[in-house]
Amino acid sequence: MTVSLSQNARLVMEKRYLKKDRYGNIKETPEDLFARVAKSIAAADAIFESDADIEKTEKNFLKLLTSMWFLPNSPTLMNAGRRLGQLAACFVLPVEDSIESIFEALKHTAMIHKSGGGTGFSFSKIRPENDAVLSTAGISSGPVSFISVFDVATEAVKQGGARRGANMGVLRVDHPDIATFIESKNDPGKLNNFNISVALTKAFMDAVEKNSDYDLVNPRTGKVAKRVSARNIFGIIVNSAWQTGEPGIIFIDRINRNNPTPLLGNIEATNPCGEQPLLPYESCTLGSINLSKMVTGDSLNLNRLKRTVHDAVHFLDNVIEINKYPLSRIEKMSKSTRKIGLGVMGFADMLIKMGIPYDSDKAVSQAEKIMSLILQESGDASAALAKKRGNFPSYKGSIFDNSSTPYMRNATTTTIAPTGTISIIAGASSGIEPIFAVAYSRRVLDGKSLSEMHPLFIKIAKKEGFYSRELAGRIAKTGSVQSDDTVPNMIKRLFKTSHDISPEQHVKIQAAFQKYSDNAVSKTVNFPADAAKENVEKVYLLAYKNGCKGVTIYRYGSRKDQVLSIGGEKKEFAKIAPRPRPERTMGITERIKTGCGNLYVTINSDKDGMCEVFAQMGKTGGCASSQIEATGRLISLALRSGVKIDVVIQQLIGIRCPSPSWQKGRIVLSCPDAIAQVLKSLTNSDFVEKGIVAGLCPECGGAISHEEGCLVCHLCGFSRCG
């Protein structure tokens, strides 16, 4: 069995998914990984059927994975068949109005992040700032201050020792501290481990429409704290989202109208990307069908799609059973509702293969056709499983009870979730987003750039006779073909990227998928840099009117200090000289393994801070040693000239040489990359977050894309949302 993977997909798998030994050496192939996952998940059949044909199930699952017809969420790919065994991606934890509850949630968050999951919370029950604390005769610091506590804790707990966890913080729009919450992320240095969303109620949206006031309610007393203008609060939300892309909004009453198990309680929060509303202590297992693989010729292969849906539901239900949950309460709640979220990726690629422009009414109707079929078939598959295995335990009192559906294994079956890294593995466009770019530049050996082009565009360009070597280089400058005169107009329509699509069309596509999704839809509505605030408001109202359960927007260039800006004035900068080297310094030396051998990096500081870097190979002489010495001298010169260490790290990290190495589970791409890693580890650098703010991937230096309610890198698979 050989799996067909692009070079980029193999790099992502090596970096994030394949087993490694204690020294960081890769111990399995992609083929081994898929075999491991298929075998592990198929074994769950024996729990329900004593005569189960596990070998047959394993073959079906292996076909599903190796054909890239379907891939589960990242924790399942990473951990199935391994000691950790935590396979779910998203969790929601309750936060009550007490110190005990808040810090219990904090402890549980750390346990979930350690296992590789992301967490969502509603902070709406916490009393407002300056409210009375009766037990101490003091005053409350409010929900935003406690969100900061969770943020700091997340910073300290790395997922699997490799990456920080992702969180969603939700606050109801009728909480007295709502204005403070809305603007809590306007400072790019704050709450960098959180996405935030405002839970908008029907009463609030009605008040916005009528331009009337609405009640802010103290959650401690249940009494009205004051009445405020709905339009004013809505304007603050719009203004903040226009400036920074946050907060997102969720329509909480609409979500609860679709709550499949209302007797278990109200839904108050979602997972980090907003597409998975969950009850307290629930988790959800997600997976995505690659729609690009469901096309034969220029039409949908309906039989393949139906078969894939049924196998995928079987797969995801098995995951629930064998998952090693981080808390017993989470296991109990998750098995009580058995929620799964089957979604899609490769939608944009599918449209291209079918000759349908993304920004067309036909694309909207195709989205509805596809998702309605997936919803119907996933429900049928869940019902068939229920006949063999039983209904989900909380079936009684659910929306299925006393209906025409006597059997249902899973309380929900469909979700449109982010597919950042799994879509790279599958070689597909992300989720239901437009294509990321028609062409882009990848940094390769010796610092050179290589222009890569979308494979479907290459195929069509060659067929239509307008392909040339120079074409990729031209397109890579912007990623778009819309201004290239050599590309026929018909092809331009097919290959529109996120920023070539109108915000209104983004919402129409999201609404089409939402119409047939049990849960919600993760998608970003992109705006050009010059978009007016009124356009953001218009999209919010359009999303509400069209039945979406939430919406996330991003205006190009809205993040402060974004590098990938459009135009702008040329500025003159003062020329500066470095301060003299001090006579006495204090330092530390760290050894790091590179492909060229052990590198010893010494960092010295004086009273004014870091001022000097030396680096030396274990073996001396040669061109490598001279280049390392030159790198150290230039870093020292920069530091003594007042250049921020974060900027130095940004320039060095991700530089690749022909001989990368592994150390303690992380890849060391080159000697400059090694120096950058040491600098980062020995300082309080927050480069990772600043790199994101600057529009650059913190791991490879590539362009960060705002899509699926998250920040992702299509080059290396980095995802801000885990």
Report how far Cα 545 is from the mean position of its chain's Cα atoms.
26
Is residue 452 a contact partner of residue 439, using CB atoms and an 8 Å limit? yes
Task: Kindly report the backbone phi and psi dihedral angles of residue 572, in degrees, each rounded to the nearest multiple of 5, phi listed first.
Answer: -95, 135
**Which spans in 135-194 are helix H?**
143-156, 178-182
Angstrom distance (rounded) from CA 635 to CA 653: 13
Helices 54-66 and 302-322, axial angle in degrees (round to 10): 120
As a whole number of angstroms, the distance between CA 380 and CA 683 comes to 55
CA dist 170 and 226 (Å) reads 21
Q: How far apart are CA 416 and CA 378, in angstroms?
A: 14
What is the token pair recorded at 188?
Answer: 């790019």
Distance of CA 103 to the CA centre of its chain: 26
DSSP letter string, 700-711: T--BEEEETTEE
Q: At what angle do helices 645-652 and 671-681 cross, to 10 degrees?
A: 150
Residue owning tokens 């044909």: 53
Contact 457, 495 (CB under 8 A): yes
Q: What is the dihedral of CA 90, 432, 348, 71, to 10 degrees?
A: 30
Catalytic residue selected from 58, 60, 273, 548: 273
Cα–chain-centroid distance for residue 253? Answer: 25
DSSP 8-state secondary structure symbol assigned to residue 416: B
The catalytic position among 275, 433, 699, 708 is 275
Tokens of 114: 């350690």
Report CA dihedral (560, 561, 565, 567) to the nearest 10 degrees.
100
Q: Which residues of 595-607 are buried (b: 16+ CB within 10 A; e: fewer)?
A: bbeebebbbbbbe
E-strand spans in 485-585? 524-527, 550-555
Please, are residues 523 and 705 in contact by the beta-carbon 8 Å criterion? no
Residue 713 falls in the annotated catalytic set: no
Tokens representing 495 are 């290959």
Asked if 120 and 91 count as a contact pair (C-beta separation under 8 A), the reply is: yes
Residue 203, amino acid:
A
Options 271, 323, 391, 604, the catalytic residue: 271
Tokens matching residue 94:
């309750």
Backbone angles phi, psi at 349, to 5 degrees: -65, -40
Apex 402 CA angle, 396 and 408, nearest 5: 60
Rounded Cα–Cα distance for residues 690 and 697 (Å): 10
Q: Is 271 a catalytic residue?
A: yes
Instruction: Bin 211: left if φ > 0, else alpha if -120 < ψ < 50, else beta.
Output: left
Q: Which residues, 6 or more positions from 410, have their beta carbon under 8 angstroms from its beta carbon?
A: 313, 316, 317, 337, 338, 339, 340, 382, 385, 392
CB 430 within 8 A of CB 707: yes
At 642, phi and psi to the nearest 5? 90, 10
Residues with active-site annotation: 271, 273, 275
